[in-house]
Chain A
């Protein structure tokens, strides 16, 4: 499909009438705010919508957005990308992962570059294909490099379950699943970003239920509104938080009632819990080490754990970002992409220096595409 048709398709969801009237309503009600509203949208999908529809320009000056760490590709530290590359370079191995992950630069190369160099690295449409590929290649080691937040974790758990049930003995897992709440806590504890409201991720919440955010309003006195991805959803969410602020409330509310409940998908939650457990530590790119912020395979499934089985091949030293890249500062809500010296020059989506430029969920990528840089 050509770019133009895709654009037409998206434009159909941009009902200018509703968007404008919601923005007007927010502007009116925001006059009653005692202090500026600094909203963090945790999820990269929201960052994308906010930039694509130019929401900051539609809203009054006392409402601003801080783009959060909710892009799984953006927070992956280089040493873990190096893990994937080291695994892919083992003899007789097929390395599988999802989407944009293959383009993120590690310390020297990306998975995409290694694939071009001849290693068998395949991006998957669904992790279920890992089972198929393992069965079709019984004489090879097949490794699934699993990434993503709570939304994508249960699918990995389902594949682990089937690997065990079907007694597939050549499929292994390198788990990089990360958790939203500890990351949000780390940013709030740091305090510098001065965030006073959250847009809660929608699809993460379909799985986990909105309940995972219930500590936030209590701990930090911030409204949290779980909102859908359409621009109208985001604006409605903002209106709900403006009202909370004006009425001096700090509550957890759900805007996206079409799909999100308080409890979420309990079967998926149990499935995750059966196979995975919190990791003591996980280093987030740019943010640093956050305790219990990611998952790993449970001890009894160590025989499926590529990180343990091939440990001697995998680098353990943390590897920092490119000197010029300020992704970390952006992920913490302390800078905008334009503050980066190489934004749009040395670093573009085709030649990404940092991870925030790779995925369409990344703040730098969204700014590059939609903030008028190209015009």
Chain B
């Protein structure tokens, strides 16, 4: 099952049209190509799919999902958490179909 963990935008690189997002403490780069210019701001919550930001989510919904995910992820160490988060983004169950 896919978790669809919301990510928070922490940095935007307008030059490369990418963002650095934080998914439960794991930071990585995501393409902004699919979002209208200027529609994503620092602090927004977004969903990723195979390395691109796919949509924005309301803060309220995002925080509610994050609360659930956090309880579980807190029990893991850094390395485990990183793996889970990355697996989630790459999840083919949600992804390709």
Chain A contacts to B: CB under 8 angstroms = 1, 5-6, 8-10, 12-13, 43-45, 48-49, 52, 70-73, 98-100, 125-129, 147-149, 151-152, 154-155, 158, 161-162, 201-204, 206-207, 228-231, 258-259, 265, 267-268, 271, 359-361
* Per-position 1/0 for B39-63, Cβ under 8 A of A: 0000000010111101101100100
Given contacts A5-B80, A12-B72, A148-B97, contact A126 B50 (CB under 8 A): yes
B2 contacts across to A, CB distance below 8 A:
45, 229
A202 contacts across to B, CB distance below 8 A:
94
B50 contacts across to A, CB distance below 8 A:
98, 125-127, 152, 155
Given contacts A44-B97, A148-B95, contact A265 B54 (CB under 8 A): yes
Considering only CB atoms and an 8 Å cut-off, how many residues of chain B contact the other chain? 37
A359 contacts across to B, CB distance below 8 A:
92
- The answer to whether A13 touches B3 (Cβ under 8 A) is yes
A71 contacts across to B, CB distance below 8 A:
96-97
- The answer to whether B92 touches A100 (Cβ under 8 A) is yes
Name, among A6, A161, A231, the residue most crowded by chain B CB atoms within 10 Å (CB to CB): A6
Which of A152, A158, A204, A259 is B31 in contact with, Cβ under 8 Å?
A158
A73 contacts across to B, CB distance below 8 A:
92, 96
Given contacts A5-B76, A203-B49, contact A361 B93 (CB under 8 A): yes
Given contacts A155-B51, A203-B94, A258-B57, contact A230 B1 (CB under 8 A): yes
- Subset of 23 A-B contacts with CB under 8 Å: A6-B84, A8-B72, A12-B72, A13-B68, A44-B97, A49-B93, A72-B96, A98-B92, A98-B95, A125-B51, A126-B52, A127-B50, A128-B52, A148-B97, A152-B49, A152-B96, A154-B34, A161-B33, A229-B94, A259-B47, A268-B34, A359-B92, A361-B97
A151 contacts across to B, CB distance below 8 A:
49, 54, 94-97
A45 contacts across to B, CB distance below 8 A:
1-2, 93-94, 97
Name, among B2, B36, B71, B90, the residue most crowded by chain A CB atoms within 10 Å (CB to CB): B2
- The answer to whether A149 touches B97 (Cβ under 8 A) is yes
CB A108 to nearest CB in B, in angstroms, measures: 24
- The answer to whether B51 touches A126 (Cβ under 8 A) is yes
Chain B contacts to A: CB under 8 angstroms = 1-4, 31, 33-36, 47, 49-52, 54-55, 57-58, 61, 65, 68, 71-73, 75-76, 80, 83-84, 86, 90, 92-97
10 A-B pairs with the lowest CB-CB distances in the bound complex, closest first: A126-B51, A45-B93, A158-B33, A148-B96, A12-B72, A72-B96, A70-B97, A268-B34, A203-B94, A258-B61
Q: Complex: how many Å from CA A1 to CA B1?
A: 16
CB B68 to nearest CB in A, in angstroms, measures: 7
Q: Complex: how many Å from CA A127 to CA B96?
A: 12
Name, among B52, B72, B95, the residue most crowded by chain A CB atoms within 10 Å (CB to CB): B95
Which of A6, A48, A162, A207 is B54 in contact with, Cβ under 8 Å?
A207
Q: Complex: how many Å from CA A155 to CA B92?
A: 14
**Interface of chain B: mostly helix, strand, loop or mixed:** mixed
CB B81 to nearest CB in A, in angstroms, measures: 9
- The answer to whether B92 touches A49 (Cβ under 8 A) is no
- The answer to whether A12 touches B71 (Cβ under 8 A) is yes
- The answer to whether B92 touches A206 (Cβ under 8 A) is no
CB A362 to nearest CB in B, in angstroms, measures: 10
Q: Complex: how many Å from CA A45 to CA B52?
A: 19
- The answer to whether A72 touches B84 (Cβ under 8 A) is no
Which of B33, B68, B95 is A203 in contact with, Cβ under 8 Å?
B95
CB A176 to nearest CB in B, in angstroms, measures: 11
- The answer to whether A267 touches B36 (Cβ under 8 A) is yes
- The answer to whether B97 touches A259 (Cβ under 8 A) is no
CB A131 to nearest CB in B, in angstroms, measures: 10
Q: Complex: how many Å from CA A49 to CA B3?
A: 11
- The answer to whether B93 touches A259 (Cβ under 8 A) is no
Q: Complex: how many Å from CA A48 to CA B96?
A: 14
Which of B1, B33, B83 is A48 in contact with, Cβ under 8 Å?
B1
Name, among A6, A127, A151, the residue most crowded by chain B CB atoms within 10 Å (CB to CB): A151
- The answer to whether A155 touches B49 (Cβ under 8 A) is yes
Q: Nearest chain-B residue to A272 (Cβ)?
A: B34
Q: Complex: how many Å from CA A202 to CA B97?
A: 9
Given contacts A99-B92, A203-B49, A265-B54, contact A1 B97 (CB under 8 A): no
Q: Nearest chain-B residue to A177 (Cβ)?
A: B96
